[in-house]
Amino acid sequence: MTYSNAYYQPSILELAQEGNCRALTYWINSLLGPQGISVQVQPAPANFLKIIVNFRRPQQRETCFHLRDRIVRFICYRLWTLNSDAIDGVRIVARVTGDSKVLWQQSVRINSPAALRLRQQKVRSSSSPRLTKATLLKFQIWRSVFLSSVTVVGFLIGYWMFYLEVGKLLGKTKMSEAASPAASDPTTPALAEGVSSHPAVRSSSQAASVENPVFSVPEEFQGQIVSQVQPAAGQKVIALTFDDGPRPETTPQVLDILKQYNVKATFFLLGANVQQFPELSRRIVDEGHAVGNHTWNHVVENASSADASHEIDDTTQLIADITGAKTSLFRPPDGRLDSKLVDYAKQRRYAVTLWSVESQDALVSAPLVLDNVLRNAQPGRIVSLHDGGGNRAATVQALPQLITALQQQGYRFVTVPELLALHQEQQSQNKPASPRIPRPTHTRSVAAAPRSIEVWGKAELTP
């Protein structure tokens, strides 16, 4: 193994996140340059950038005005995906190259999560407001009311205590003159024993054990390959999945974020990691998330039948022993379908779960992870993310903004078993009701029409 003595060189995106004007200029021009538009980013006070938009190609002035909204939305969206606390807003000025006359200009505040946090910290750290005359008058009034109420309450408490003392004195006088009839009742001890023993029996009979979760799938998906489904019309649901965990470096941070936003996801676990981090595995299930099988050692090469049994069966059994959860979900390593692992999983009636939205969080930075998911998100799709297998800082950084953006678009997050169950409900709702046919005089056999199920782009006919 060799080590390099060269200094670390930050990427263009990292420099852009820090508010570097040259990096921002290069990054935005790489996207707008092919359209005949160039920009120049200039610094401005209070983290408010100034962006000059130059229309290089000769165009009519009306066309430049028509492009105003699209260009402003595009620039603001790109700056928002950076999630930078160094960018609080932007002032966009448009003109034609070579002409100093301004066509239009617009100022926009960038409300990214990082900018909002910095703004809130500034508000909290600002100096305390001075008391105005009205505030001072209100304080004096409430102080007088409080002191008066304390006096009244003290008087009432003193009167109440005097009343109690008088009552005790009168009660002792009466008790000395008469005997208690309850002391001569022979049934009182037996009744007391019965009353004292009854609650204990009742509490033991009401004790109930919580059943372990079972992450099963509808019958039509058992032994099939699935990457997305068609939910009911109007239901914007999407499933987040995390592979290669659990790992103590990333999984607790992911769980904390999901808990903060009240989101449930599906974790495809490696048997070796479950064995090494049992407490973390139990936490995933205890917090309401679904779990699936991702083999024991993430074997990518073609495995024998004996290896497939160990990689799949032993992992499922270990997950059940440690977390109490039984699962029928299996995801092959790297999504490869050309292995005996997939054939064995189909024989064991697992739902071979792939994905339809690839975040590429193992390869790119957080802004690109966010962009990859938002560009391809559609109802009924499954998103691929990772909480193990390497440095997942980009995943942790992009996850809060990803959840917020999808929620603002109206999406609801579900687990993979819930997603498949919603598809089954949709199928049952679309199934036409059988008409009532009068019974004929002579008996005839009528063949039932086959039902088509679309799984992984392949239609199968089920009788």
Catalytic residue selected from 298, 386, 387, 423:
386
- CA gap 384, 361 in Å, rounded: 9
243 is catalytic: yes
Work out the angle at residue 130's Cα, subtended by the Cα atoms of residues 128 and 131, and round it to the nearest 5 degrees. 125
Encoded tokens for 19: 């508010």
List of long-range contacts for 54-62, beta carbons under 8 Å, 24+ apart: 54/95, 54/96, 54/97, 55/94, 55/95, 55/96, 55/97, 55/103, 56/97, 58/96, 59/96, 61/103
Q: Which of 243, 244, 307, 387 is catalytic?
A: 243
Strands 357-358 and 266-269: unpaired
DSSP output for 264-288: --EEEE-HHHHHH-HHHHHHHHHTT
361 is catalytic: no
Q: What SS3 class is residue 242?
A: strand
**Residue of 8, 45, 59, 51 whose CA lies nearest to 27:** 51
Residues 288, 413 contacting (CB under 8 angstroms): no
Torsion of CA 187, 191, 194, 196, to 10 degrees: -130
**How far is the first Cα of the chain from the last one, in angstroms, to the nearest whole number?**
60
- Which secondary-structure segment (H or E) carries 421? helix 416-430
CB 367 within 8 A of CB 240: no
Tokens (6 digits) for 179: 């005997």
Helix, coil or strand: residue 417: helix
- Choose among 89, 138, 145, 139: nearest CA to 112: 89
- Residues with catalytic roles: 243, 386
